[in-house]
Homo-oligomer: A and B are copies of this chain.
Amino acid sequence: MWCNAAMDRVRTDAGARPPRATIIDVAREAAVSPATVSRVLTGTKPVSADLEQRVRDAVNRLGYRPNPAAQGLLRGATHAVGVVVPDVGNPYFAEVLKGVTNAAEESDFRTLVADTGEKGGAEHDAALELSRWADGVVLCSPRMPQRELAKLAQAVPHLVCVNRVGRGGQVPAVVVDFEAGMAGICRHLRELGHRRVAYLRGPARAWSERARQRALRAASGPDFEVFQVPCGSSSVDGHRAADAALATGATAVMAFSDYVALGVLARFDELGVSVPRDVSLTGFDDIALSELLRPRLTTVRVSKQDLGRRAWELFASSGAIDGAGETGRVVTASAELITRDSTAPPAGAITPLPKTAKA
């Protein structure tokens, strides 16, 4: 009986915490109008030193922070960017995400993430949904068909792609120069003396995969035969595809990415196949681990964080922050060959390697 009222309260505010202060509370506390509080906080109009101090004190006392949803509603902008990634667990995308986040932070923007779980079909909806929360969306390595991407660009205000250019470069994008990177790998292997190589294909719908194929076609010929092996984009895929790669009789295996190569390496180890003695192996991306692995992976260096940052800049310069801006620029990030320990001349080439090396 003595505590009925109190009980009702407890039931109402779960956790028994005080309701959040609004700008009106602050205004009351400082004995000014809400508009003055707003002016102090946003700094849009000058306010007398006296009032400013009173407002600041009240803000601190109440621990007030403006409600971004309300601000967004009014301004028509949320001060947030969305990022759609196939898999945050993939170190590649984690780095890109970090790049966007860091850059966004400098402009005081939040980052929202959607993980599509490698399901290409989920990309469209994820981007659309994020676009309602954020002022723009960064789409990482989207697998969706060209047509869908074009439609999406219509519906999402500030769409930026990473590693994908839409038809005619209509949507701003930052892409790695996969073609040059792949060409570099091919040249490197050929110079080492490899004549039969296997390529572990990435997802068929990936734009970067098509760019790689162009390089492969250009490099292949009678003295440089390329065997295509279906694989995928995860290290598990690499692990699974390793046997098929070996079965082609190739002396070198080019993986879709470092992440894939990781799995290949593990499988080769299980099989007792030594890299690079028995077969050479290359990756792509140069993730942090590739230098920590043994053998250290020959790969193509790509600055992942930079990719994210460039994507942010594209977003920013497309008018997402200040208003109008250019649109449809495509930025190409360079890809540099990093020669390490996982590639060597093919076993039969010049000197037979000392057989004693193993065990």
Contact = CB atoms under 8 A, between A and B. Distances in A.
Interface string A1-24: 000000000110011010010000
Interface in A61-77: 63, 65-70, 72-73
B113 A111 contact: yes
A124 interface: no
Contact of A94 (B94, B132, B293): B94
A88 B78 contact: no
Contacts of A206: none
Interface residues of A, number: 61
A115 B97 CA distance: 10
Given A235-B288, A292-B235, A115 B133 contact: no
Contacts of A169: none
Contacts of A17: 154, 157
Interface stretch (A49-57, A189-197, A216-224, A319-327): A319-327
Contacts of A15: 157-158, 318-319, 327
A39 interface: no
Given A63-B155, A101-B88, A112-B112, A269 B294 contact: yes
Contacts of A67: 73, 132
Given A110-B133, A111-B113, 7 more contacts: A14-B319, A98-B115, A110-B114, A111-B114, A112-B113, A235-B292, A266-B292
Interface of A: 10-11, 14-15, 17, 20, 63, 65-70, 72-73, 78, 80, 87-89, 91, 94-95, 97-98, 101-102, 110-115, 117, 128-130, 132-133, 154-155, 157-158, 235, 262-263, 265-266, 269, 288-289, 291-294, 318-319, 323-325, 327
